Structure 1
Amino acid sequence: MPGIHPPVTLQLEPHAIPAVRVAFEEALVELGHQLIRLRLAGVIPGPWLGDPISADVVDYYHARVMDAPDGPYAALRAYEVELTKVRDNLQILEDHYRRTEGENAALWGRL
């Protein structure tokens, strides 16, 4: 979960940024598919025996796994948010690098 661990610095050579960004994008797409699948299949539709015990289990499971702000499903959603931040920051770095390199190439081409 965010805030539990100190931030980690990712150091990359500028030419590697696009490939790393693509890897994060692919991870986000796959995680998105799995989250949709989990949201659809991870919910128990109702008490399977129709008794109070299985109803209690369904309620407990949903409260702890699917709906809890600190539960597994929320942790995967938080992971998705963090991956998105990393991907977006990599895009910003890539754009900055391309602008800077373009400006440098133009400057050196004029000299």
Structure 2
Amino acid sequence: MSTPTEFGQRKLKVDPSAIPEARKAFEHALDEFDAKIRRAVDHLPTKPWAEDPISSETSKAFNEQTSDKALAALKFYREQLVGVISQLKMIEEQYRKVEGDNTAMWGKHQRDLG
């Protein structure tokens, strides 16, 4: 998938010992996003509120100029959350294979260098 130019992409650096909590935080954010946004998306595209020609034209213009971009941004944001969660799960699994469940060991190398 290509990244729309208006949406920037950021890199996330997480200390290995913080991975489980970071994953939980992103999962919580995704749950909240889904709960709140799904309700809001049900109201898009907007409908003519007064059921007259003026509100019909206004609603049409709003939908053409705004809702498509808003929905694209929301979809992209959700995909990014899902991607971060997937990457954190994969990294966490790799660390567990190497270090086991001893999460204190995950940050050991960082502490030794400090």
Using the size of structure 1 for normalisation, the TM-score is: 0.75
Correspondence for 1:16 among 4, 18, 22: 18
Taking the aligned partners of 2:70 and 2:78, their CA distance within structure 1 comes to: 12
Give structure 2 stretches of 5+ with no counterpart. 101-114
Larger Rg: 1
Aligned position for 2:88 = 90
Instruction: Describe the shift of the 1:29–1:57 C-alpha distance in structure 2 as closer, same or farther (beyond 3 A).
Output: same
Give the root-mean-square deviation of aligned CA atoms: 2.1
Taking the aligned partners of 2:51 and 2:64, their CA distance within structure 1 comes to: 19
Aligned position for 2:27 = 25
What's the offset of the Cα at 1:6? 6.3
CA offsets per residue over residues 54-97 of structure 1, 9 Å max, x none?
1111111222233x2xx112201110001110110000000000
Matched residues, number: 98
Counterpart secondary structure, 1:12: coil
Taking the aligned partners of 2:31 and 2:54, their CA distance within structure 1 comes to: 38
Percent of aligned pairs with the same amino acid: 32
Taking the aligned partners of 1:51 and 1:12, their CA distance within structure 2 comes to: 54
Using the size of structure 2 for normalisation, the TM-score is: 0.74
Give structure 1 stretches of 5+ with no counterpart. 103-111
